[in-house]
Amino acid sequence: MVQIQRDATQYNQLIMIDSPSITDAEFAQFQKLIYKIAGISLADTKKVLLVGRLGRRLKHYDLGTFAEYYRMVSTPGAEEELQTMVDLLTTNETYFFREEKHFEYLSNVILAKHPPGQPFEVWSAASSTGEEIYTICMVLAEKLGVTANWSVTGSDISQSVLAVARRGLYWLDRTRGLPKEYLRKYCLKGVRENEGTFIIAPELRKHTSFLQVNLNTTLPSMSKFNVIFLRNVMIYFDAETKKNVVERLVRQLLPGGYLIIGHSESLNGITNCVKPVMPTIYQLP
């Protein structure tokens, strides 16, 4: 039976019961560690979130304090548990057609002027569980055709959310934002042991590829892209990390390519390499 998740990852629900408390010093250690690994500035207000998400790992290993868990993940050879910790602390909510104005611009402006028959490549650079990737696929299929030469690359620092994205299998209660006609056209309803689920149609999934990428480090060898989505992740970065991440991504844009960020984000003071064409949508000259 295929295993699926009701939320962003199997860890996404916060369980505070029986979790030990965390001292300010212990929390500061985790703040420094997640910043070093992923460039994420974990605000002091996220202490409850950290306790909720990591508390079960302490229980799993029968540890009494967060200091013990910190020593565990900091020990050479603990890379697997360290990745689990990163997965827990970097998973965020996503849904189909989130911030839909971006997809309207993609369809009505960017794709409308794309030369017919030419390849079109998109990178979802913080793709989480895949809803953004498959939303992009639906837009491209509608505008360019299912059989046209286009592709969507999805990346994330979390292996667990990438596993969900690769499967493209979701509970029916995860259809928030997804137009009913697209649900009918591009999704298949689960049957028997998968009743209550839907899976993205194979004719869309064949256009996708996935890889683990830490945006806070040197990027792997990748092609150039017409559009890069980097949405709702920079809000967790400080100014220096934002500059470094954006600089890396802009290098991956084709001339005239677009960088799309989240509605609560801005590139003011971050880079002059791309120019705003609409709020949160930037173009490389």
Q: Among all residues, which ones are annotated catalytic? A: 53, 156
Tokens encoding 180: 């009913």
Tokens encoding 90: 């970097």
Which strands, in side-by-side order, build the sheet including 187-189? 169-171, 197-200, 187-189
Cβ–Cβ < 8 Å for 165, 222: no
- Contacting residues for 248 by C-beta, under 8 A, at least 6 apart: 215, 218, 219
Residue owning tokens 């990591």:
54
